[in-house]
Chains A and B, each alone.
Chain A
């Protein structure tokens, strides 16, 4: 069985698993990292959103063989460490606005929000309506409004 090495939340891990198994299942079913959620396995719902080298990725659509030994995979569990804090400012804003209802979509929402803010910042601007239209994450509990408020609050804080 092929062996795959990558950096997961700051630590190097190696797993023996077939090449085409998607990263989501490697994390959840083999490594026991359950922050990223399954909502479709189709790159649609965005519940599995995590970061690969700082960019938001639907890890249900990434064969584990696509990940290189130096690639840094960050899940919601590893997000605070990326800013050296107990909670990332985006997570804090989520708490301040009391965003979660069932909470199932929220790890993916937060990971997407952080990437979206960084993407806009790299383009030299703050998040606007057009950016919100690009956030595809489903929240079946309908927390969208508080998500917008939380992102707007957090975007200048990291």
Chain B
């Protein structure tokens, strides 16, 4: 039996890590990013509970002149007492700059508003460790960032001990001030230079125990909110780069069409404000004084276009292709009296267009290039841009700007690559932006897929669950490739394609449903695709949860109790119970309205969503100009357990956004393919959730910490919400929906914009619509 003190020392050794102090004029500390950092520093496991001073003297600290500092993340303590950190991740709204600042504030004992977090330029030496995706940021940086901050605090304490002539163990740090027992104190500002090191040092530090947290786990407002509400937050198109004038592309009428010839290049170049016209690989680029004049020029261009890659494709042809490629379900011989439920679901193309359209600033010179763009795989962007320009990687600088949303879009750097090509072709800096219409029609999409699910049951047990998911290929790009393949190299998934690997790593069934198989088949098409928030899960899990409702009905059970009985993990049961209780599951609902409930496990977390939907004619037929109203989710209740919520307020925001996405992809938003292009060209064609679709009642419950380590948050809610809304719709109407969004096959709710010219002119009636 271990004694209490032995347990305590084991606990401490689990919290002990290696940090670095770097030679610099003010205190600069670092930690290793990547796998090494995640492991506690075993060698430093010493008996008893050491004081920081003991550690400092304990030879854990090494002077290492050859210390590799390349793969480190670095925190600088500035002379004014603030701390700065350049996060090698991309902020697109998910709140990681705030949660990262919280980690630093926690370990450094510095007020949150004294921590500045910026976004690091592309750092090729980080290899696969500068990718923002898979809701992985907090999972992968939780320990390294705290180690660096703890190292800083330890150095500050050491400097203060010397300065005040007091043993280190007698000092306390609070809110950026170190205080001695006699009341004398020194601020971090006063210590920033004194604590600096002349050489690189390696030190052992001990992280705070969770019981001592005063910042982590508390609701905090975003550190960039003030900038956002005052218009000061700088996105790529707000960055002022000398000479970088607006540029736009005249794009082909169909996906991947090519330029054959341009008839009126000289005339367009002479248009007001226009400085340059150049043919590039994706169309004809124009550069001018204002984007408005670029729009005029794009519309004036007379271009002969070659065919695209999918000119004959329609929703129906792609669907037929998917059906032909679907793998059969072969169920093993089952006991007599076994019954089955079996259904196939169709999920149409959807757009991951953010409100900030694809854009980038590029300044390409003869021997170098500088790019400003919001990219979530900046190293890949840097490498590809260098290759395209024929420059060494080191000659290309990629500055990562704040992003106006991503939803998977910014895993790719389409606009940055294009801006570099245009800048090179014109020999001038450019501020390239996609028109909204192009962003829908030529931007990346969440691919169309079908999912067949078959489950068998007998004597109150589910015996098998088989799912065959067949999808137009999802492009992953090798940025994501590097990180996933590297982290799964040890897993028994050999022989699978990359997409199959992602699929098998992300798709789980949370229920004890006997023999379960889930397989992905991809049809390779000439579409621009990409991961959309939550990748496969919204479709795969929505299909499953609808089948779960069918099973429950077939087996004569209530959807909530049925799920509860079959769930594998107590954390899943806890979130399900929570929404059932808070959402008053099973209350009497009026005809045409119903509740729906669903669960989703992913990213080391669990989410449960309960919704109420109103499908009565009075609601469905509500008239709002240029809108799709339809069934309305009147209430949503969500309970989420991510293990440890670093910032519960930020987590709530992510759940809220995910629920709005789930409502959109279930009820209203999709792309319609016809004649080789998507019909949608504006936000009044692509019906993402609007104010009039928003649930009037929304309740999000962040569960208390369970595992003590943070899971992913940015995507988790989409699948849970989609499934809950679909289940509620099925229960309200009495018909299980099998096509998503449910209105996709209805007549188009808009008149498609023309494809030639490719973008519409801006209206001129602004003042007459003033309110």
C-alpha gap A23/B763 in the complex (Å) = 12
C-alpha gap A150/B446 in the complex (Å) = 32
Which residues in A have their C-beta under 8 angstroms from that of B771? 55-56, 115-116, 119
Given known contacts A18-B293, A58-B769, A61-B769, A103 and B227 CB-to-CB distance under 8 angstroms: yes
Q: With CB as the reference atom, state the residue of chain B lying closest to A55.
A: B770
Is B52 part of the binding interface, using a Cβ–Cβ cutoff of 8 Å? Answer: no
Min distance, Cβ B173 to any Cβ of chain A, angstroms = 28
C-alpha gap A94/B771 in the complex (Å) = 21
Is B694 part of the binding interface, using a Cβ–Cβ cutoff of 8 Å? Answer: yes
Is B240 part of the binding interface, using a Cβ–Cβ cutoff of 8 Å? Answer: yes
Min distance, Cβ B692 to any Cβ of chain A, angstroms = 4
Is A143 part of the binding interface, using a Cβ–Cβ cutoff of 8 Å? Answer: yes
Min distance, Cβ A109 to any Cβ of chain B, angstroms = 9
Given known contacts A34-B237, A100-B228, A103-B233, A52 and B691 CB-to-CB distance under 8 angstroms: no
Q: With CB as the reference atom, state the residue of chain B lying closest to A112.
A: B771
Question: What 1/0 mask marks residues of chain B from 729 to 771 whose CB sits below 8 Å from any chain A CB?
Answer: 0000000000000000000000000000000101111110111
Min distance, Cβ A157 to any Cβ of chain B, angstroms = 15
Is B562 part of the binding interface, using a Cβ–Cβ cutoff of 8 Å? Answer: no
Whether B769 contacts A39 by the Cβ 8 Å rule is no
Q: With CB as the reference atom, state the residue of chain A lying closest to B636.
A: A145
C-alpha gap A156/B225 in the complex (Å) = 22
Question: What 1/0 mask marks residues of chain B from 339 to 383 whose CB sits below 8 Å from any chain A CB?
Answer: 000000000000001111100000000000000000000000000
Whether B657 contacts A101 by the Cβ 8 Å rule is yes
Question: What 1/0 mask marks residues of chain A from 12 to 45 whose CB sits below 8 Å from any chain B CB?
Answer: 0000011011111110111010111111111111
C-alpha gap A40/B656 in the complex (Å) = 24
Q: Which residues of A, 36-74, contact B by the 8 Å Cβ criterion?
A: 36-45, 47, 52, 55-63, 66
Which residues in A have their C-beta under 8 angstroms from that of B763? 42-43, 61
Is B272 part of the binding interface, using a Cβ–Cβ cutoff of 8 Å? Answer: yes
Is B661 part of the binding interface, using a Cβ–Cβ cutoff of 8 Å? Answer: yes
C-alpha gap A127/B226 in the complex (Å) = 25
Is A121 part of the binding interface, using a Cβ–Cβ cutoff of 8 Å? Answer: no
Which residues in B have their C-beta under 8 angstroms from that of A59? 766
Min distance, Cβ A55 to any Cβ of chain B, angstroms = 4
Is A4 part of the binding interface, using a Cβ–Cβ cutoff of 8 Å? Answer: no
Is B684 part of the binding interface, using a Cβ–Cβ cutoff of 8 Å? Answer: yes
Which residues in A have their C-beta under 8 angstroms from that of B465? none
| Tally of contact residues, A, Cβ under 8 A | 76
Which residues in A have their C-beta under 8 angstroms from that of B233? 103
Q: Which residues of B, 204-244, contact A by the 8 Å Cβ criterion?
A: 221-222, 224-235, 237-238, 240
Is B157 part of the binding interface, using a Cβ–Cβ cutoff of 8 Å? Answer: no
C-alpha gap A140/B224 in the complex (Å) = 18
Given known contacts A30-B289, A34-B237, A52-B767, A41 and B762 CB-to-CB distance under 8 angstroms: yes
Q: Which residues of B, 636-665, contact A by the 8 Å Cβ criterion?
A: 649, 653, 656-661
Min distance, Cβ B169 to any Cβ of chain A, angstroms = 39
Whether A45 contacts B355 by the Cβ 8 Å rule is yes
Question: What 1/0 mask marks residues of chain B from 263 to 299 whose CB sits below 8 Å from any chain A CB?
Answer: 0000000001100000000000000011111010000
Whether A136 contacts B436 by the Cβ 8 Å rule is no
Q: With CB as the reference atom, state the residue of chain A lying closest to B220.
A: A98
C-alpha gap A91/B273 in the complex (Å) = 36
C-alpha gap A36/B354 in the complex (Å) = 16
C-alpha gap A132/B698 in the complex (Å) = 16
Whether B770 contacts A103 by the Cβ 8 Å rule is no
Whether B231 contacts A140 by the Cβ 8 Å rule is no
Whether B235 contacts A40 by the Cβ 8 Å rule is no
Is A75 part of the binding interface, using a Cβ–Cβ cutoff of 8 Å? Answer: yes
Whether B760 contacts A57 by the Cβ 8 Å rule is no
C-alpha gap A55/B695 in the complex (Å) = 28
Is B682 part of the binding interface, using a Cβ–Cβ cutoff of 8 Å? Answer: yes
Question: What 1/0 mask marks residues of chain B from 168 to 192 whose CB sits below 8 Å from any chain A CB?
Answer: 0000000000000000000000000
Whether B404 contacts A103 by the Cβ 8 Å rule is yes
Q: Which residues of A, 89-127, contact B by the 8 Å Cβ criterion?
A: 91, 94-95, 98-107, 110, 115-116, 119
Whether B355 contacts A22 by the Cβ 8 Å rule is no
C-alpha gap A144/B682 in the complex (Å) = 19
Question: What 1/0 mask marks residues of chain B from 683 to 722 whose CB sits below 8 Å from any chain A CB?
Answer: 1100011111011101000000000000000000000000
Given known contacts A22-B292, A135-B691, A145 and B405 CB-to-CB distance under 8 angstroms: no
Given known contacts A41-B295, A100-B222, A116-B771, A146 and B653 CB-to-CB distance under 8 angstroms: yes
Q: With CB as the reference atom, state the residue of chain A lying closest to B660.
A: A142
Pick the residue among A23, A42, A119, A148 that contacts B682 (CB under 8 A). A42
Is A7 part of the binding interface, using a Cβ–Cβ cutoff of 8 Å? Answer: no
Given known contacts A22-B762, A59-B766, A62-B766, A144 and B660 CB-to-CB distance under 8 angstroms: yes
Most chain B beta carbons < 10 A, residue from A22, A41, A87: A41
Is A83 part of the binding interface, using a Cβ–Cβ cutoff of 8 Å? Answer: no
Is B93 part of the binding interface, using a Cβ–Cβ cutoff of 8 Å? Answer: yes
Pick the residue among A17, A35, A42, A129 that contacts B231 (CB under 8 A). A35
Is B92 part of the binding interface, using a Cβ–Cβ cutoff of 8 Å? Answer: yes
Whether A77 contacts B760 by the Cβ 8 Å rule is no
C-alpha gap A14/B227 in the complex (Å) = 28
Q: With CB as the reference atom, state the residue of chain A lying closest to B273.
A: A18
Which residues in B have their C-beta under 8 angstroms from that of A91? 229-230
C-alpha gap A3/B228 in the complex (Å) = 32
Whether B767 contacts A100 by the Cβ 8 Å rule is no
Which residues in A have their C-beta under 8 angstroms from that of B237? 28, 34, 38
Q: Which residues of B, 23-48, contact A by the 8 Å Cβ criterion?
A: none
Whether A75 contacts B231 by the Cβ 8 Å rule is yes
Whether A98 contacts B766 by the Cβ 8 Å rule is no
Q: With CB as the reference atom, state the residue of chain B lying closest to A91.
A: B229
Q: Which residues of B contact A (CB under 8 A)?
A: 92-95, 221-222, 224-235, 237-238, 240, 245-246, 272-273, 289-293, 295, 353-357, 402-407, 433, 435-436, 624, 626, 649, 653, 656-661, 682-684, 688-692, 694-696, 698, 760, 762-767, 769-771
- Sample of 15 further A-B pairs with CB below 8 A, known A21-B273, A102-B404, A102-B405: A21-B293, A29-B291, A43-B765, A43-B766, A62-B764, A75-B231, A98-B221, A101-B405, A102-B354, A104-B235, A104-B404, A106-B228, A116-B771, A138-B688, A145-B656
9 A-B contacts (beta carbon < 8 Å): A38-B291, A43-B769, A44-B682, A45-B355, A57-B769, A57-B770, A66-B767, A148-B691, A148-B694
Nearest 5 A/B pairs, CB to CB = A35-B231, A142-B660, A102-B93, A103-B228, A104-B404
